[in-house]
Amino acid sequence: MIKYDFTGKNVIVTGGSMGLGKAICEEFAKAHANVVIADINIEEAKKTAEELSKYGVEVLPYKVDVANYDEFEQVINEVNNKFKKIDILINNAGICQSISLIDMNLEKIKSMIEINLNGTIYGCKAVLPIMKKQNYGKIVNLSSIAAKLGSANISVYSATKAAVLELTACLAREYAQDNININCVLPGIIRTPLWENMLNELTDNNIDKKDEVFSSFTNGIPTQRPQEPKDIANAVLFLCSDESKEITAQNLGIDGGQTY
């Protein structure tokens, strides 16, 4: 097991109160980083912050709607004023709905674009001036294997996640000379709260069918097993470590071989 040491580093994780975000926050806290949990669900963020405080670092909850640029920028500036620097931003917040395009209402389409894509753009826009000034930074954007694997009933979600890939590549080249690494992680099939919501939609909340439906999605994984939140967190920490200083503009699939 690789032991990372992020002592003195300050990390912001959006959507960090549960699921993948929580796993990422925990691994950073274990590695001695100060962690900001930026989440629209402030009560869950507070619970997670309290839980992770056992690692002896500062874990601070902030209420953030990533689809609101002014709110996002304000929190990033507050964090920068407190810690005097921001080393790492993880754009993890996202939503998904499995439904055909013609049946999806316009509000849901708008919300998915605003959170998944605009929220990632806003986070990068708000933090990059700080990282540029300090001549250092790491940004990891969370995409999805859906960005590469076209599937029925997730067209809008897939489109937002594919856009995140190109955003990452462009920004990484734009700020490469400022000692800022920007990469993208594409999680595979992981039974997080996001997936639980999708399974509820696909089975009409039929608990008996949820396991069966989830298994049908994992059958196509070459390794024949779903991923775990910690698998994604490990990849994120690697991309934020000094060991990956020559890696930028890349997208890394953690999916058991489903994409390449």
Reduced 3-state DSSP string for 160-225: HHHHHHHHHHHHHHHCHHHCEEEEEEEECCCCCHHHHHHHHHHHCCCHHHHHHHHHHHHCCCCCCC
Which three-class secondary structure state does DSSP give residue 128? helix
Under 8 Å between Cβ of 39 and 63: yes
Residue 258 tokens, joined? 């489903």
Catalytic residues: 157
Which three-class secondary structure state does DSSP give residue 46? helix
User: By CB neighbour count within 10 A (0-12 exposed, 13-18 middle, 19+ buried), where does 217 fall?
Assistant: middle
Please state, as a whole number, how many other Cβ atoms lie within 10 Å of the Cβ of residue 172: 20
Residue 244 tokens, joined? 């990956």
Q: Measured between alpha carbons, how far is 69 from 17 in angstroms, rounded to an integer? A: 20
Under 8 Å between Cβ of 127 and 137: yes
Tally the C-alpha atoms within 13 A of residue 212's C-alpha that lie toward its C-beta.
Answer: 7
